[in-house]
Amino acid sequence: MTMRQDIHSSGIPVLCQSCEARHRGVCGALDAEQLAGLAKTSSRHNVEPGVELIGDAETVDNYSNLLSGVVKLTKSLSDGRQQIVGLQFAPDFLGRPFKAESAINAEAATAVSVCSFPKAAIERIMKESPELEHRLLKQTLNELDEARDWMVTLGRKSASEKVASFLLMIARNIDPALDPSAQSTSFDLPLIRADIADFLGLTIETVSRQLTRLRSDGVIRIENNREVTVDNLTRLQRRSGV
Amino acid sequence: MTMRQDIHSSGIPVLCQSCEARHRGVCGALDAEQLAGLAKTSSRHNVEPGVELIGDAETVDNYSNLLSGVVKLTKSLSDGRQQIVGLQFAPDFLGRPFKAESAINAEAATAVSVCSFPKAAIERIMKESPELEHRLLKQTLNELDEARDWMVTLGRKSASEKVASFLLMIARNIDPALDPSAQSTSFDLPLIRADIADFLGLTIETVSRQLTRLRSDGVIRIENNREVTVDNLTRLQRRSGV
DNA sequence: CGCATCGTTGAACGCGCTCAATATCAGTGG
DNA sequence: CCACTGATATTGAGCGCGTTCAACGATGCG
């Protein structure tokens, strides 16, 4: 896929040539020179589902761009209860600037590929380029909006509304170009039942029961436990509590 | 209270002289000249409890600094169910940059005083002063951390743990200098029971029952429904689910 | 005084949890 | 091929936490 090309022809490092983060991600804030400097110390990795990317209370010395796959952000109580507090999709930026330690855990929910760079490199560029900080602020504000939306779901919605809301949210994120007026979609669930439960503040059993209820009511179809088809998005939305 | 003083003596506008936002708030990012420019179009207001500061889906053309009091950020479902998705304390910045409409509702929970400025003025300064955006990014990241902490509380804690967590969070915010090793504090609850319920995803009755339980267990004392004294912070923390 | 707001307390119900059994599938090795 | 294992998911039965509905108390204000 990747074509060999002289760096100097475009000024953009080979690593970054076809990288989506250069367009919609934070790297779009950088000029060719900054990209080149950053690319020297950055590297791509492919990660299996379940692998921890950032450990709780662990010193973080890397930031990353998520290039493909889904990453779940989790927090845990001392007795093991767990809550997923965010999902990240490509081309999100992974990492918590201005704090030495991360208070949350980031784990690959699906197969994932990331581009990571040393923390110091990013922070240096941030100082000299306000545009990078601007993009980070925008992403952070969006994440805050999403977090607050989920607080409503967690605090005030019933189990069936939670599951419907979850499916809608996934559908919109897997297929960002999804027309709001579209009436059907299908997608692969990036999370297993246990993760969905941890995301919605429910148990596995309740998630399963609500999914089968949606299925027997004809709102969705499920194949191989993962592939979901929504034939009537409006009906699903009506069940999400709006 | 406010003393008349020649602006040129210090270069700092009278309005801002004794303003806390100039130290810990976003105005600390501005130099005397920028402050002077901003002060021309800004104004202080005192607001009664219950008054709406930013309406849902309403066009926002003002940003504000919260100077005193507590503001609650709420979101509602179409059938009236409500969730408080954040509390703001002085000297927080109020407003959602980069979006014409606010998706949330901001309402004074206590008596509140704010300093508001036209949206355009802030956005102009933001373009020329990266430091302002830097402070906003920091506040937004902190709010995101808090939101995610509450997602754990909403999704995974029991009613009694929720109430204990709430009291601890209030104690820490009312008295930011509260020594973590301190064993007692007392404070006024900035929220009535209905608000606490909306914050914790519970009903008024459950909040009331959990508070009386904490009281009869000797963990807290309550006077006039509002003044809470915690004699043993460690005991309260043990009940918060960590 | 009446009225409104806020808070507490009680009784009964029901949603979602807990515990347990069963199903399904992939991988692994005989 | 079957047997075995482990991970994931579904389904059932019963229970308990938090809700719902209702009554009552406390306080402030006209």
Q: Read off the pLDDT of each residue in A79-97 and give the average, rounded to a whole number.
A: 95
CATH architecture of the domain with residue range B7-143: Sandwich (2.60)
Nucleic acid strand D within 7 Å of A205 CB: yes
Q: Which residues pair with B66 in a beta bridge?
A: B114
Domain limits, CATH 1.10.10.10, in chain A: 157-238
Nearest C-alpha in A relative to B203: A156
Name the CATH code of domain A44-152 (choices 3.40.250.10, 2.40.40.20, 3.20.20.410, 2.60.120.10).
2.60.120.10
Top residue of A154, A158, A203 to mutate, by most chain B CBs within 10 Å, is: A154
Q: What is the pLDDT of residue A60?
A: 76
Instruction: Check residue A100 and give its pLDDT.
Output: 76
Whether the bond between B91 and the residue before it is cis, its omega within 30 degrees of 0, is yes
Task: Specify the pLDDT at position B55.
Answer: 81
- Residue A57 zone, left/alpha/beta (φ > 0; ψ -120 to 50; rest): left
With CA of A212 and C1' of each nucleotide, the nearest comes out as: D10
Q: What is the rounded average pLDDT for all residues in chain B? A: 92
Q: What pLDDT is recorded for position A2?
A: 43
Q: What is the pLDDT of residue A180?
A: 82
Residue at shortest CA–C1' distance from D19: B203
Span A162-190, pLDDT tens digits: 999 999 999 999 988 888 888 999 999 99
State how far the Cα of A67 lies from the Cα of B202, in Å rounded to an integer.
39
**Model confidence at B161: pLDDT above 50:** yes
Query: What is the location of CATH 2.60.120.10 in chain A?
Result: 44-152
User: Residue B73: its chain A contacts at CB < 8 A?
Assistant: 148
Over 70: is that where the pLDDT of B188 sits?
A: yes
Give the distance between the most distant pair of CA atoms in chain B. 59
Give the mean pLDDT of B59-76. 92
Comma-separated ranges of CATH 2.60.120.10 domains in chain B? 7-143
CA angle A95, A99, A100 (to 5 degrees): 95
**Nearest by CB to B144, which of A144, A152, A155?**
A144
Asked if residue A209 keeps its beta carbon closer than 7 A to nucleic acid strand D, the reply is: yes
Q: Which residue minimizes Cα–C1' distance to D7?
A: A192
> Class of the A157-238 domain?
mainly alpha
Amino acid, res. A97: P
Question: Residue B84 has what pLDDT?
Answer: 98
State pLDDT tens for residues B78-126.
Answer: 999 999 999 999 999 999 898 877 789 999 999 999 999 999 999 999 9
If pLDDT is split at 50, 70 and 90, which confidence band does B7 have?
very low
- In sign, the C-alpha dihedral spanning A125, A127, A129, A133 is positive
pLDDT band at A5 (very low <50, low <70, confident <90, very high): very low
Tokens read off for B32? 């005397």
Spell out which residues of chain B touch residue A201, defining contact as CB-CB under 8 Å: 154-156
Residue of B nearest to A202 (CA): B155
The answer to whether B55 CB sits below 7 Å from nucleic acid chain D is no
Distance from CA of A152 to the nearest CA of B (A): 6
A97-101, B195-199, B208-212: segment of lowest average pLDDT? A97-101
